[in-house]
Amino acid sequence: MYLRSNSGSRERFRWVIATIALPALLWSFSAQADNLPKLPKFPSLPTLPKLPPLPHNLQIHGFASQSWLMSSGNNNFFGKSSSDSGSFDFRELGLNASMRPLTRLQFSAQMLSRTAGEGSPGNVRLDFGFMDYRYFSGESSQLGIRLGRMKTPLGFYNDTRDVPFTRPSILLPQSIYFDRTRKLALAADGVHLYGEYRSDLGDISFQAGVVRPLVRGAEAEAAVFGGQFPGHLAPEISYTGRVNYDLDGGRIRFAVSASQLNIRYIPGASDVLQGGSIHFIPLIFSAQYNAERWSLTSEYALRRLQYNNFGVMPNLDFYGESYYFQGAYRFTPEWEGIVRYDVLLTDKDDPHGKKWAAAQPGRAGLAHTRFAKDITVGLRWNITPEFMLRAEYHRVNGTAWLSTLDNPNTGNLSQHWDLFSILGSYRF
C-alpha cells in the first residue's frame, strides 16, 4: 500500500512540474527567437494550376487478357501455336470511355491493342468511336441515331466480341465470327439508325446502317484473295442491319442479321489483276434459350460471295454455309461449362472441297482448306467479378478458318488437328 501511494505521489508531482515548466520553456524559446538574425527568404514555388475535375458522368473501363495456345500439326493459330511450347502471342488490351453531356446525347469510344498472329500485330487502334443521339425515348419505346465507327450488328456476339468477359468461349464459333477476316466484319464507319419497342408480348429492337467497311491491311487482302497482290482494297458504300426479338426478359431470343459489304480492288504496278469488285452478303439467323442454369444457342449463316471483272480471275458467284449448336451449363455462379459443334463450308454446293481441288492445278490435296468442323469443350471460372480464367479444347476436321498469313504454305497443313488454349482476363 505504501509503495502504491508513494508511486502515485511521484506521478502527481511530475504532472505539476510539467504543467508549470512547459509554458515557461516555450515562452523562453519565443523570446530568444526574436533576437536571432533573420534568415533569408527562399523564393516561393510557383503555384501549379489545378486540374479540372472529371465530369461526373464520365465512365472509364478497361480489360486485359493473356492467352496460351498450342495446336497439333503445322497449324499456326494466332502465332506459333504449333511449337513444342505453344504460344503466348494472343493478348487483348482495351480501354473504353463513355460520357453523356446531355440526357439524349452520349459519346463512346474504345481503343484496342490485339496481338493475334500476323493479322493483328498489337498496334493500338480505334475499335469504335461514335456519337449517339436518342431522338425519342418513352416508357416503352425509343429511337435514335449513331454516327462514327460502330460495330457491325451481326449475330449475337459481334458487337461485344472484343471483351473476353462477354464471349461465350475463348474463341467464338469460327463458322460465323471469322477471326481471319475479323477487321472486315467487325466494324465500319458510317451512320446507324436504331430503335426499340417493349410490350407484354416481347421486346423488338432494330439497328440499320449505311457504312464504309474497314478493308485496309494484309488481313483483309489475304481473306479476300488468299494472298497478297500489288494493289489494294478500297471500301464502297455498304449496308448492314439486324432485328432482335426478346421474350420474358431474354429467356427466349431471336435475331436476323444481314449485311452487304461492297469492296473494289485498285490494281498496282505490274498487277495481273484488273480493277474488279467484291460483294460479301451474309444472312444470319440466331436463336437462344436461357434457363436458370443452362443456355442453348444456335446460329445459321448463308453467305453469298461475288467476284467480278478481275480479268485473269473468272467471275465467281457462290454461297457459303455455316452453323453451330452450343450448350452452356452453370454449375455454380463461379463455374460454367460449354460444349459446341461448329461447321463451316466455304461453298455449300461443294461441302468437302473436292470439286474446287479438282479444278485447281496442284491443289488436289487441299480440299480440307474449304471446310472446317469443330468440336469444342470449355470451362470458365469466375474467380472474382473482375478476374476470370478459361480453358478450352478444340478437335477440328478441316482448315478453312486458318489464316493464310500465319500459314502461307497450305500444303503442309494437317486436315485433322487439335487446339488447346488457356486464357486469363481482368477487367475494371
DSSP 309-337: --BSSPPEEEEEEEEEEEEEEESSSSEEE
pLDDT-wise least confident of 101-105, 155-159, 215-219, 321-325: 215-219
pLDDT at 47: 58
Top-confidence residue, 82 or 210: 210
**Which whole-number Å values give the CA distances from 349 to 44, 207, 315, in the listed order?**
82, 32, 17
Contact between 325 and 311 under an 8 Å Cβ cutoff? The reply is: no
pLDDT, tens digit, 9 for 90 and up, residues 19-32: 333 344 333 433 44
Which CA distances in Å does 22 have to 8, 30, 31, 314? 21, 12, 14, 103
Between the alpha carbon of residue 220 and those of residues 9, 118, 148, 188, 337, the distances in Å are 93, 12, 21, 13, 33
**pLDDT per residue as tens digits for the range 196-225:** 999 999 999 999 999 999 987 777 787 788
What pTM was estimated for this model as a whole?
Answer: 0.83
Using an 8 Å Cβ cutoff, are 164 and 115 in contact? no
Average per-residue pLDDT for the chain: 86
Angle at the Cα of 337 from the Cα atoms of 332 and 343, rounded to 5 degrees: 155
Q: What integer pLDDT is reported at residue 334 of this predicted model?
A: 96
DSSP string, 256-312: EEEEEEEEEEE--TT-SB-S-EEEEEEEEEEEEEE-SSEEEEEEEEEEEEEEE--BS
Q: Which three cell numbers stand for residue 41?
A: 527568404
Domain annotation for the chain: domains and CATH numbers: 133-427 (2.40.160)
> Beta-carbon neighbour count of residue 395 at 10 Å?
14
